[in-house]
Structure 1
Amino acid sequence: MNKCLWLCLLWCGAAAAANLVAFRNEEITLWAAPVEGQGVFDEYHADVAMNPASTMKLLTGWAALNQLGPGYRWRTELKTTAPLQDGVLRGDVYWIGNGDPRFDNARLTELLRQLRLRGVRRIEGKLLLDKRAFSRISSADGFDSDAERVFSVPPDTHLSNLKVAWLRYFHDQGRPQVVLDPPLPGFRVDNRLQPGADVAACGDVRERVNASINGDVIRVSGNLPAACDGSASYLNVLDSDGYAGQSFAAIWQALGGEGPFGTAQAATPETARLLLRQDSDPLVQALADINKFSNNTMARNLWLTLGAQQPRSGDTVADAEQAVRGQLQSHGISDAALVLENGAGLSRRERISARQLGAVLLDAARGPYAAEFIASLPLGSEDGTLRRRFAALGPRLRLKTGTLGNARALAGYWQAPGGQRLALVVLVNSARAAQLQPAIDSVVAELVERYRLSLESGHCAP
């Protein structure tokens, strides 16, 4: 047993063993170590490969910071081979997508507004999506029943607004109204909402309304109180190409433009000239969205970007995996237990050990991008997926959460008032995972308390 661990167990008695009573032997692995010190503070089955759920995003984010840098930006371009005559582009527009995970309606609106300012009024041809940046996308097998849920939206070179259409609710002269945002031209909203009883607050509007899709009709029913004015709910209504094409057309027409006439896929000809170029927000902003809110789609886009930006085989998925493994090897971290599918943890197959993930945490906290990496993690009891957890520990705790049907995980850091940091990983794989969550939180709290006491006693101070 590690000397530091032995001293801390001696100091705190049998608290650690008591907290593991809730778990069967094979259900939990854990690892913890001081960032500023040496050795391991605590571990339990730390070399066993486990499904880490969304804590796998930490590995992808760490690899991306090291490979691409925190200032990396995705580039979106519009090109054409057609002449522009009197405001009419007499041919097709090529939209070259590179997988910007934060590309949304606001960015698309600005892109098309700039196109209007450059004198284009009418696009007589088609919108052609150039999707060559990703040769194929990674799988997320075993989630077919969740295909319409936003967390399982697949990655795409032309990911736009996370492929989400919003239903926005308001009251007009006492009558509830609903509009589709963006106003996708291929759909019509059938508003069957009725006024609801007066309430002080709306709460979750999804509990008051029902939205169903039948062909090109979105039927919305329910009772909507006036307090729900300004609320919204989302729908997945199209595949990625269809959503990108209809969003482009809707926003273009809202800006006074005409066309385009249809959407298809095509490679941009070498002779095409540039119409517009737009760069994304820097990678660090995407990383905060990915980790604080555990966004699977954005994480999978980031993972594929690693392969696209470091091509070896021409297979984006294989190249992404090789890029991640290459980062581990170059930093002296074993990849022996690692199994990758999509780098987001939305996987029944992905595996990593607590020790491996812990080594990534230590390297991240000691590396040049420590501030960027750590700032992307949810703060205990304050934001993201930890907003309602760890009230007693508060924002000194920064942890990435992981949640699947049979997996719960936590990985990140606790910082003592004196600045010393403990990196920790807790992975639980069990059919009982959901009911074990309070026990998992207790394990984290106990680890933190023992580390705090060890610092006060001087037994394990760096």
Structure 2
Amino acid sequence: MNKLLLLLAVLATPLYASAPAGFNDDEIALWAAPLEGNAVFESHRGEVAVNPASTMKLLTSWAALNRLGPNFRWQTEFRSSAPLQNGVLQGDLYWLGRGDPRLDSARLTEMLRQLRLRGVRDIAGKLVLDQSAWHGIGTAEGFGGDADRVFTVAPHTHQLNLKVAWLRYHFDAGQPQLTLDPPLPGITLENRLQVGDGASCGDVRRFVNITQQGALLRVSGRLPPACDGAANYVNLLDSDNFAGQAFAALWQQLGGSGPRGLAVATTPPGARSLLQLDSTDTLASVLVDVNKYSNNTMARSVLLTLGAQFPVGGDTFADGERALRGLLAERQLPTAPLVLENGSGLSRRERLSARLLGEVLRDALRGPYGPELAASLPLAGEDGTLKKRLGEVGGSLRLKTGSLDNVRALAGYWQAPSGQRLVLVAIVNSARADKLTAALDAAVAALVTRYQARLAAAAAGGL
């Protein structure tokens, strides 16, 4: 037997471990395996169905990369059946949104600028949002108490700025001023800020109090001059009105007139295309936000995009799930236990096993898009949701984090300086999960240490 086969044989001896220090036996599921071969290095409750929290995003990312490709881009289009006469569009403008997760004010402004260059000066009809790209977006039940939080914003075909507006602060003649970006004509901004003390700013939210009453947004507090240029985001309006009001404000900033109202409808047959542009960002770029910063809305949009590109039954989320499950079967990977609610992990109901997720990660790293998936994961001790965690672990440790009530999770891979890679998944489901983050990090670090020792032993044996 050659040395490579001997090495694989040594590494293949699985350790069916008891729970790591600090955990009860039923509080954690662990699964770890070397990239090479089909061996399992360690497993503890690896087949048990658990809530993965945001590590579910890895499953969605893997499916999207394989079915859509890393260079996939989202398309946005404007159409109309109305004639254009002397710069006036004599009717409605249809905005065909297809769920670009990173559509922002800058990109929309560029689109509107190009409409102006193509001769449109005045929109005499309504702006009509065509949302027919998606039918059924999945759910995220059980988060009613967080409905005003940004992390619960549902995906939308016209998701401008992730439905987030920025309050931007500056000083003029020594007095604190603020602006809303993008400007939203339906929101009245009331500035009650006073000049405050402080040599530094940091998080500007320490100094301001923001209240919303209907269309009135009131900002009070004592703002230090050091906060000139600071900003914080606010979640305003529903997605339809956010997109419509932002469009109108940006259009008028470019010198355009109209539109005269907002509606939601399907583009009539035969409407001609006035402008069609691809997204600035590719799927691979979007997945950096999905995984490094655990963006729920973007992750859900990615799975819906998968469903929209491979329609079967007419429900976009169900079609996305069907495409994902089909890929699992095609790759002969475990298809159970798996429960999907939206594909982002923002769910009380989603379930998978540590082994299922681990096998998906192993398949990903062996495939053509492994580098793209790996690059989207937080690097321990350096960036994303792992910036202040696990930096002491040697080699390259890239892990997606997961956090919900009663759930803490880590999943990704570690690469030894000599090049060997270990896929690892650790998922805590426990009523005291919020107190077990440090223990989870310690368990992962210890797992890596044990694998390093196994590699060293194999090397010492001359393998």
Q: Is the 8 A contact 1:193 1:224 kept in 2?
A: yes
SS state of the match for residue 79, structure 1? strand
Instruction: Name 2:397's counterpart in structure 1.
Output: 397
Q: 1:379 touches 1:394 (CA, 8 Å); kept in 2?
A: no
Mapped to 2, the partners of 1:357 and 1:432 lie a distance apart of 23
Q: Tell me the SS of whatever aligns to 2:167.
A: strand
CA drift of 1:173 comes to 1.8
Aligned residues: 454
TM-score (norm 1): 0.95
Counterpart check, 1:291 vs 2:291: yes
Q: Identify the residue that residue 267 of structure 1 maps to in structure 2.
A: 266
CA distance change for structure 1 residues 57 and 461 in 2, over 3 Å: closer, same or farther? farther
Residues 152 and 115 (structure 1 numbering): CA distance in 2 closer, same or farther, change over 3 Å? same
Identify the residue that residue 212 of structure 1 maps to in structure 2: 211
Which consecutive residues of structure 1, in runs of 5 or more, have no partner in the other structure? none
Would you say the 8 A contact 1:165–1:235 is kept in 2?
yes
* Cα distance in 2 for residues equivalent to 1:238 and 1:159: 12
Equivalent runs, 1:109-124 vs 2, <5 Å = 109-124=109-124
Give the secondary-structure state (helix, strand or coil) at the position aligned to 2:219: strand
2:55 maps to amino acid: T
Q: Is the aligned partner of 1:127 residue 2:127?
A: yes
- The CA distance in 2 between the partners of 1:461 and 1:241, in whole Å, is 65
Give the match for residue 352 of structure 1: 352
Alpha-carbon contact 2:395-2:416 (below 8 Å) kept:
no
The alpha-carbon distance between structure 1 residues 417 and 461, as it changes in their structure 2 partners (threshold 3 A), is farther
Cα deviation for residue 36 of structure 1 reads: 2.5
State the match for 2:4 in structure 1.
none
Superposition map of 1:186-205 within 5 A = 186-199=186-199, 201-205=200-204
Q: How does 1:295-444 map to 2 (within 5 A)?
A: 295-393=295-393, 396-444=396-444
1:357–1:425 contact (8 Å) kept in structure 2: yes
Deviation at 1:38, TM superposition (A): 3.7
Amino acid at match of 2:228: D
1:88 aligns with 2:88: yes
CA distance in 2, matches of 1:430, 1:163: 33
Q: Secondary structure, in 3 states, of the residue corresponding to 2:338?
A: coil
Distance 2:211 2:71 in 1: 41
Amino acid at match of 1:275: L
Can you list the C-alpha shifts for 1:302-337, whole angstroms capped at 9, x where unaligned? 111111111111111211111110111111111120
Q: Following superposition, which runs of at least 4 residues in structure 1 exceed 3 angstroms of deviation?
A: 2-9, 459-462
Quick one: structure 1 residues 395 and 84, their matched pair in 2 at CA, closer, same or farther if it must change by over 3 Å? farther
| Pairing 1:233-244 to 2, within 5 Å after superposition | 233-244=232-243
Cα deviation digits, residues 265-318 of structure 1 (max 9, x gap): 111111100110110121101111100100000000111111111111111121
Letter in 2 for 1:443: A
Residue in 2 that maps onto 1:254: 253
Whole-angstrom CA distance in 2 between matches of 1:407 and 1:88: 56
Letter in 2 for 1:188: T
* C-alpha separation in 2, matches of 1:191 and 1:410: 43
Aligned equivalents of 2:396, 2:442: Cα separation in 1: 16
Q: How far apart are the structure 1 equivalents of 2:278 and 2:462? A: 46
State the distance in 2 between where 1:250 and 1:307 align. 32
Is 1:448 the equivalent of 2:448?
yes
Which residue number in structure 1 is paired with residue 244 of structure 2?
245
Deviation string for 1:400-452 (max 9, x for gaps)?
00000110000001111011111000000011011000000000100111111
Aligned letter for 2:205?
R
Shift, 1:6, TM fit:
9.3
CA contact (8 A) 2:12 2:39 kept: no
Residues 37 and 461, structure 1, Cα contact 8 Å, conserved in 2: no
1:70-89 aligned within 5 A: 70-89=70-89
**Equivalents in 1 of 2:383, 2:150: separation in Å?**
20
State the partner residue of 1:161.
161
Alpha-carbon deviation of 1:203?
1.1
Task: Report whether the alignment pairs 1:146 with 2:183.
Answer: no
**Aligned residues with identical type, % of pairs:** 61
Which segments of 5 or more consecutive residues in structure 2 lack a partner in the other structure?
1-7
Work out the CA distance in 1 between the residues paired with 2:109 and 2:194.
Answer: 33
TM-score by length of 2: 0.95
Work out whether residues 14 and 39 of structure 2, in 8 Å CA contact, stay in contact via their aligned partners in 1: no
Secondary structure at 1:50 match in 2: coil
CA distance in 2, matches of 1:6, 1:213: 59
* Equivalent pair of 2:100/2:158 in contact (CA under 8 Å): yes
Q: CA deviation at 1:65?
A: 0.6
Secondary structure of 1:440's aligned partner: helix
Distance 1:53 1:461, change over 3 A: farther
Shift of 1:261: 1.1
Cα distance in 2 for partners of 1:86, 1:41 equals 71
Counterparts of 1:215 and 1:380, CA distance in 2: 42
